[in-house]
Structure formats: structure tokens, C-alpha cells
Structure 1
Amino acid sequence: MRTIQGQLFLLTLLALITPSSHAQQPDNASADVEARAEEPTFTPFYAFANYFSSGLYQGTGGQLTVFNIPIKVEPDQEGRNKYRLRLPISLGFTDFQFDADGVSIPDTVATATVTAGIEFDHWVSDKLMLRPFLDVGYSQNFSGQSSSLIYAGGMSTFYYFQAAEEKQVMVTRFQRASFRTQGTLIVDGFSSIDSGIDWTLPFRYEMFEKPMYMSVYGRVYWYFLDQTSTEISNDFGSILDAQELGFTLGWIKPLDMLLFDLDRIGFGYRTGDGLTAWRLFFGFPLE
């Protein structure tokens, strides 16, 4: 039995809706720029990389591209109600860019986040499953020489139903994450609710003699930022939202990738408060 599962996510930010500090502005536009600067922007703190749906984000000192590897260890168990150990790892790189000749990845890690936790699968019925989780961890910002302790918890609900000759799933998640910086002892955090549906299409095809399927998904996010927030947003007590649409290509029999089984690859487009992004990911799109 495969006991270690891993996923690798890459979220690529193409444009942030914020004016450049080096751009020249006309005199009659200064009032408008000042007003827009006071609007909340989507700038999550680097310690929360594991809880902002993975990927590339703007942190406190610039833009980062984060590779999240949420490894899960599942001991051998009987029955449907199971538990897993959560060991997500996030590595952040500065100045990650795409160019015409390919992808340029810097060799310097700017941030690293390691957490340990546990999650449970509790089946309420044949269609409804609850998955609570708890995490604690440590995050280091090497460029800013700062570190934080992280603690988080939440729960996801999975509702399965039959439609279009396929088994579909709707997922809703609530989570709360907080951090405390070492040295300065700043305490901050946020809560979020997101909900989405993954819709499997009723046809099959083959690629390299591997039977495959396709799904489309949609997801909405609401972020509730603490009123004491100084690192997450420019506006205290903000509520930010984002939306994402995309599709996945899946294998009926997952591919053996040594440390984990790869069952899907997907692409998505996300937009929201101060954020426009393309997303490339591997695995289930609603986790």
C-alpha cells in the first residue's frame, strides 16, 4: 500500500493590480492613485504559504513564487474513517520569471515553511465526509532574516453526488491560521472560507496507452483579515475575495512517481482583490 502521498503546486502570478512606485503619474491623477493605494490588496504574509491555496503570492518585501509540497502519510487502517499525518513544505523563490526561451528559476531560497499536523476523514453518510485538521509549524524568511511560529486549524466538507453519469464532488472549507514572529512578537492571522465544485465530464480517452478523463472546476474564496493585521493587508479588518476557474486531466490508474501517485494535472485562472493569476497544479483542484 502506498503510504506517502505528495503533490506539487505552482501558481504563476501574471499581474497585480497595483501601480508601480517607479511609474510617473500625471499631477491630476495623484488623488486617484492615493485613493487606490488605500484599497485592500491581496498580499498574504509569507508564513501563510500553505494556507493560501499554494503557489505564487506577493509577500512582505516583494513577489515570491512558492512551491508547495503537502506530503501526507497515511498509516494502514481499516474502514472509511481514517487519519493522516500532514507534513507540508513550502519553498519560496524571489524574482521567478517566465521568458521566451523558457523558465528561469533562481537558485536562492527566500522563504521556507515547514508544518506538521493531523487530519481525519469522518463519513457522516455515503455522500457526506468531514475532514478536520490541526497544524503547527515554523517559517523562515531568509531575505528579511525573520521567522515565525505558525498554528492553524480548520475543516473541509466533501459532498459527493451523481450527475451527468459521473460522480461529482462539492467541497467547502473553513480554516483559521495565525502566526507569531520571533523577536518582535507580532501576532496576526486570518480566517477564510472557500467553496467549489469539481465536475467530471462523461467521456474517456487514452494518452500513451493510459486511460484518462477530464474535469472542470470552479471555486470562490473569502478571506477575513484580522483587524490587528499589519503584514497581510494595507487595510485593517479587510474582507478579500477571489474566484478561480479551471480544468484537470486525470488518469484512471494513477501514475507511479516514486514518492507519490500522480492522479491529475490541472490548469486554472484566478482573479480577485489585487490579483490576476494563472495556476498550474498536480492533484485534486479543491484542496
Structure 2
Amino acid sequence: MDSVHSTAWGRRRHRDAHLRSIGALACAGAVLFAATQGRAQTAPAPNPFRTVNLNYVYAADLGFGGYSLAGLTANVYTLPLSYSLHGILPDGWTLRLLSPIQLGVYSLNLTDTNGARISINQKSLGLVPGAELDIPLGGRTVVKPFAQFGVVGAFGDDVGNPWAYVFLGGARAISEWHVGETTLSLGNAVVYAGDETVGSGFSEHYVSLQLGGEVRHPLGFSVGNLEPDLGVYANYYYYPAPLQFSRFLEPPLKVENQVEFGFSVGSASPFKLLWLSNPRIGAGVVFGSGLTVWHINFGFPF
């Protein structure tokens, strides 16, 4: 995870057919707050944990959100652009071209061991295009393999090598059942993501195993052609090799398991807003292993 888990937000990333961009939050990479090495007027006490790396890759999987940890505040805002192609593949299959644009905003405010204040601000801008293929299996399950690759640039205070490659790949699957007007969904996924500084420098990668469920039901009224509905969901994330978030003057925080609870609102009947078909939007919170993340979602993230 390249510099500060920038933004935790892929991850759960995802949502309406046109807004769906699994790695939407594609992120930046090898920018790091190495300036923490020595902004003090007098020599700080020796400590092996003096560099704070931004985990942009985590943000890429998360999508749209943020967190605060040990003096670092990381927020990522993603515009999950995509375009769906129909009619060129077998019946029922859909090829979705992804082109998420991500802005990251990071600030680090700390006090060194000698009392000196450290304040650093950076931003990142990235584009990580890719493709997702929706493959129906039976009448209620869709499998969605995907791959993305792009680049992110960073700018602001103390940026060393400002460019990094970002990549994501894996597969998601979602199954749906209808009980009256209620829709029950079960999702699962495996995601491999990583980043690497252009040239030489910091790099990282991780595997995420995900499982979630959602219940969606109409709210019982309509506004014109819109029939609002409400969906609530819970997701579980497991990292076979723990995610690591660096902390100034402290050992890295290792994250092995996280849980997300959230909701989304949309329309129970087909609805189009501008160029978006059946758009949804909601919010959730991801927590566990000492890290809490706020997350804006565009529907059930599978």
C-alpha cells in the first residue's frame, strides 16, 4: 500500500451498473511523508518508525471515503465513470469500461520527540482505467471478473517521487432472491491490489477476501416515476496477509479483519438520472483492528 492508506473507500466499493467501478479509488502511490525524518531544530530521539507511507492502494479498492490514524488524515474522492457495452457479447453478458478519476487529500500533523511540530499536506490525482465483465450464471447469479491499471501523481509538501503505478484485479459475484417486494442479495469477492513507485521506491500489495449481504425494500410511496427504496447491508473483509498502516514513532498498525455496515437509497422501479441507469447512493462505516473508515457507496459493493 503505497503511501498512507489513502482513503480507504473499492472497498466496498461499488454499486449501480454504470457507477460501478471496483477499483474506483485508484490511488497514488509512492508518495510518502518522508519529511517526518527531520523537521526539528534539534536532533530528535532515535526511532525506527519515522516515515509515514500513504496506502493509496487501499483507497483504490475502497473507492470514496477517509480515515484518521496517528496524526494522519486521509480522504479520497472518486468519480466512478464507466460505460457499458451491450450486444457484442453472448446474451446477458455486459462489458463495462471503467475510468475512475480519484482525488486524494492528505494531512499529517504530529509532535516529534523533541517537541517540534510537524505539519505536511499533500494531494494526489489519479486515473486507473480498466474493464469489468458481467457474466450471468443461472437466473440469479452474476460473476464479475475485472482488471485495472493506471497511474497516480502526487503534489504538495515534501513529495519525493510523485508518480506511482496502481493495479487491481479479481472477481466479484452477486446472487439475488426476491421475496414479495423485498430483494435479498449475497455478494462475495477476491481482490488483489498493489502499487509501485515509478522508478524506484516504496511498493506494496495485498489480497482481500470479502463477503456481504443486503436487504432492499420499497419505502411505499412514489415521486413522479421514482419509487424510493432503502437497502441496508453488512460486509466482512479478511486480509490473509494483514494490511499495514505506518504510524509515526509507533510500530505499523496491522489490520486483519474489518466489518462494514451501511445503507443506500435508490428506486425500486427502473429509473434514469441524466446518463445514469438506476443510480444509488448511500453511506457506511468500516471498522476493526484499530482502524475506522467512513465510506460513501453507490449501492451494494458487489
Structure 2-normalised TM-score? 0.67
Which amino acid is 1:200 matched to?
A: R
Distance 1:46 1:263 in 2: 26
Report whether the alignment pairs 1:182 with 2:181: no
Q: Alignment partner for residue 241 of structure 1, among 254, 257, 265? A: 257
- Tell me the matched-pair count: 241
Distance of aligned partners of 1:257 and 1:59 in 2 relative to their CA distance in 1, 3 Å threshold: farther
In 2, Cα distance between the equivalents of 1:47 and 1:269? 19
The residue type equivalent to 1:285 in the other structure is F
Specify which of 167, 170, 176 is matched with residue 151 of structure 1: 167
1:175 Cα deviation from its structure 2 partner: 0.5
- TM-superposed deviation, 1:149: 0.8
Asked whether the 8 Å contact 1:44–1:57 carries over to 2, the reply is: no
| 1:90, distance to aligned residue in structure 2 (A) | 1.0
Question: Does the C-alpha gap of structure 1 residues 208 and 270 become closer, same or farther in structure 2, counting only changes over 3 Å?
Answer: farther
Does the residue aligned with 2:127 lie in a helix, a strand or coil?
strand
Aligned residue among 86, 94, 103 for 1:91: 103
Displacement after TM superposition at 1:189 (Å): 0.5
Distance 2:148 2:165 in 1: 11
Instruction: Give 1:190 deviation, angstroms.
Output: 0.7
Query: Which of 262, 265, 272 is the matching residue for 2:288?
Result: 272
**Match of residue 42 from structure 2:** none
Mark the runs of 5 or more structure 1 residues left unpaired by the alignment: 11-33, 38-42, 96-107
After TM superposition, the score normalised by the length of structure 1 is 0.70
1:68 aligns with 2:78: yes
Asked whether the 8 Å contact 1:45–1:59 carries over to 2, the reply is no
- Greater Cα shift, 149-158 or 243-252: 243-252
Cα distance, 1:6 vs structure 2: 3.5
Aligned to 2:60, the other structure's residue is in SS state: helix
Q: Secondary structure at the match of 2:65?
A: coil
Q: Which whole-Å CA distance do the structure 2 matches of 1:247 and 1:132 have between them? A: 25
Q: Which residue of 2 aligns with 1:169?
A: 185
Give the deviation of 1:224 after TM superposition.
3.8
Which structure 2 residues correspond to residues 1-287 of structure 1 after superposition, within 5 A?
5-6=18-19, 45-57=55-67, 62-77=72-87, 79-94=91-106, 110-143=123-156, 144-145=159-160, 146-163=162-179, 165-201=181-217, 203-207=219-223, 210-225=226-241, 234-235=251-252, 238-253=254-269, 256-261=272-277, 263-281=279-297, 283-287=298-302
CA distance in 2: counterparts of 1:160 and 1:44, whole angstroms: 37
Contact 2:146–2:171 (CA under 8 A) maintained in structure 1: yes
- SS of 1:206 mapped into structure 2: coil
User: Against the structure 1 CA distance between its residues 239 and 271, is the aligned structure 2 distance closer, same or farther, given a 3 Å change threshold?
Assistant: closer
Residue 268 of structure 1 and its aligned partner are, at CA, apart by 2.0
* Corresponding residue SS for 1:154: strand
Unpaired runs of 5+ in structure 2? 1-16, 26-46, 108-120
1:208-248 CA-to-partner distances (Å, cap 9, x unmatched) read 77321112111111234479x78699549x55221111222
**1:39-66: CA deviations, max 9, x gaps?**
xxxx861244221343214599932211
Query: Could you list the per-position Cα deviations for residues 63-84 of structure 1 after superposition, in whole angstroms to 9, with x for gaps in the alignment?
Result: 2211112211112326211211
Matches of 2:20 and 2:256, distance apart in 1: 27
Deviation, structure 1 residue 156: 0.3
* Aligned partner of residue 80 in structure 1, secondary structure: coil
Secondary structure at the aligned position of 2:138 is classed as coil
For residue 92 of structure 1, report the CA deviation from its aligned partner.
1.1
* Aligned partner letter, 2:75: T
CA contact (8 A) 1:71 1:89 kept: yes
Matches of 1:130 and 1:247, distance apart in 2: 23
* Identity over aligned pairs, percent: 21
In 2, Cα distance between equivalents of 1:58 and 1:46: 14
Give the secondary structure class of the aligned counterpart of 1:51: helix
1:240, 1:226 → 2: CA distance? 5
2:225 & 2:262 partners in 1: Cα distance?
25
Higher relative contact order (CA 8 A, sep 6+): 2
Contact 1:47 1:113 in 2 (8 A): no
User: What value does the CA root-mean-square deviation take over the aligned residues?
Assistant: 3.7
Judged with a 3 Å threshold, the aligned counterparts in structure 2 of structure 1 residues 114 and 224 are, in CA distance, closer, same or farther, namely: farther
Change over 3 Å in CA distance of 1:225–1:54 after alignment to 2: farther
| Preserved CA contact (<8 Å) 1:252 1:263 | no
